[in-house]
A = this chain, B = another copy of it.
Amino acid sequence: MRPLYHPSKEDISTEGILYALSDPIRAQIYSEISCSEEAPTCSNFLTLKNHKLPKSTLCQHFKILREAGLIRSERKGVELRNFSRCGDLKERFGDLIRAVLAAYGLKVGESVQNVPSEPKKKAVAEKSRPR
């Protein structure tokens, strides 16, 4: 099985990000990953808003998020843990990602949040939220 592809920071494109986030399911998945402390797994999303998703479909969504450069997937034992690639995204795409998720009414993790006009005060985290 070929290793998971993650584009280099320079290869992350507006088009790819927009494509990935133009699907509301993927936007929601990305939102939750970006907010979560525990780096969720793919299977954590088998039901999303009372809606069941097949595993293979979910896997494709993750592939698209990963290959757009939005997330990084790391194997931890039998599962893959997914992180937002905040560091690689914030500078070039922070505004875009924030605006897209805001328009959907979704939350963004602190790491991408970082409003530049304010002098960076500690955000009030919202960790224990039902999923």
Binding site for B on A (CB under 8 A): 14-15, 17-19, 21-22, 24, 93, 95-96, 98-100, 102-105, 117
Partner of A103, one of B18, B22, B102: B18
The residue among A21, A22, A117 with the most chain B CB atoms within 10 A of its own CB is: A22
User: What is the distance, in angstroms, from A91's C-beta to the closest C-beta of chain B?
Assistant: 12
User: What is the distance, in angstroms, from A68's C-beta to the closest C-beta of chain B?
Assistant: 11
Chain A interface, >50% SS class: helix
Number of copies: 2
The residue among A100, A102, A103 with the most chain B CB atoms within 10 A of its own CB is: A103
Across-interface contacts of A93 in B (CB, < 8 A)? 103
Q: How far is the CA of A42 from the CA of B75 in the complex (A)?
A: 50
A-B contact pairs, 11 of them (CB 8 A): A14-B24, A14-B103, A14-B104, A15-B24, A17-B103, A18-B18, A19-B22, A95-B103, A96-B103, A99-B99, A100-B100
